[in-house]
Amino acid sequence: MRATYLWQAGAAVTRCCRQQHIKTFTMSCTNASASYRSSATFVDYVAPSWANRLKCIPKQRVQLAMYNTPIHAWNIPGVPSDFQLSVKRDDLSGSTLSGNKVRKLEFLMADAANQQCTSVITAGGIQSNFARSTAVAARQVGMDCHLFLRSEISEPESIGCEGNLLLDRMVGAHIYLIPKKAQYERDIKVKMEKLAAKIEEDGGKAYCVPVGGSNVVGLFGYLEGFNELIQQNVLEDFDDLVFTTGSGGTAAGLAIGNYLTGSKLKCHAIAVCDDANYFHAHINKTLQEVGLGSETKSEDILDILEGAKGKVTECQRMKN
């Protein structure tokens, strides 16, 4: 028996054999704090044949990573001799500052560019990996970035420049501190929308990215991730696919890809926050959005395992 674990420390998106049309997109952005010009390579997106009946298929993606990421044997103590464990090295995507988050961001940034946006807005904890990844990706495609970060400190000058905050500042992200107890739907999303309206009043256009980038656009990052697993013979060589889930996007993409291909793999998501009910609800909503809600449900295509989380995480606080 074999199992593969999709490591959440990095990522990539598949370089497919399907025909793609490539063009260079150039954007100039000018605002009160920065003036810059950046070029990025955008690819006309063609979904895998097994996914072409889905609704909401993106038109393009922007190339931010190198792929395919390798799968290595993972030799750890205590594994039975008749059981093989491997790890997909998504930390080797070539996207040093974005890791696995780049899968979703390739589609989210392309969507923002296609809408002629000049700024990207998202939210997270004070040391959010996704917020940092979004700030880096936005700068790579020539957009400004605004981050709403949860903190016990209310003065931006007092939060320092450690960890992801240093990287946020290095790419010129605008940082707005919000209380740790702020809830996403009730508090943070409203602030993001108000900022977007202000940016539009000033002559720009903002693109709001939900926590973790887990929406129907970001979903295609992990549908492509599953297509990459197909190319690496994972469907033939392994029995189980195990991964963590914090915002639901990775779980949705891999489980839906597994369902659409009729794969024999069993998908298992380890919840690092919230519970199975939360993630099943998120994925069922996604299934409705892509046109699969009438034929399957999350509970039938994904096993969500609880009991692995420790203390309350920033991810959980953001949603509650």
**DSSP annotation of 119:** E
Residue 57 lies in a domain: yes
Residue 107 lies in a domain: no
Radius of gyration of the chain (CA): 19
Q: Write out the two tokens for 171.
A: 């790419």
pTM for the model stands at 0.85
d(Cα 309, Cα 138) in Å, to the nearest integer?
31
Task: Give yes or no: residues 134 and 274 share one domain.
Answer: no
In a domain, 109, yes or no: no
93 found inside a domain: yes
pLDDT for the residue 201: 97
Q: Could you tell me if 102 and 250 are in contact, meaning their C-beta atoms sit under 8 angstroms apart?
A: no
Instruction: Tell which residue, 146, 62, 76, has the closest CA to residue 156.
Output: 146
The one catalytic residue in 119, 128, 151, 247 is 128
Residue the block writes with tokens 């917020």: 131
81 is catalytic: no
Predicted pLDDT of residue 182: 87
Domain count, the chain: 2
pLDDT score recorded for residue 147: 97
Structural contact between residues 291 and 102, judged by C-beta atoms closer than 8 angstroms? no
Q: What is the pLDDT of residue 311?
A: 56
pLDDT for 161 equals 86
- Residue 129's domain comprises 114-212
Domain co-membership, 198 together with 279: no
194, 212, 230 — which closes off a domain?
212
Per-residue pLDDT of the chain (320 residues; tens, 9 = 90+): 556 554 444 332 222 334 344 443 434 343 333 444 456 789 999 999 999 999 999 999 999 988 899 999 998 898 898 899 999 998 888 766 667 889 999 999 999 999 999 999 999 999 999 999 999 999 999 999 999 999 988 777 778 888 999 999 999 999 999 998 888 888 999 999 999 999 999 999 999 999 999 999 999 999 999 999 999 999 999 999 999 998 899 999 999 999 999 999 999 999 998 899 999 999 999 999 999 999 999 999 999 999 887 655 555 555 54
What kind and span of H or E run contains 269? strand 266-271
pLDDT at 38: 56
Q: Residues near 82 by Cβ (< 8 Å), separated by ≥ 6?
A: 1
**What is the model's pLDDT at position 29?**
40
Do 221 and 313 fall within a single domain? yes
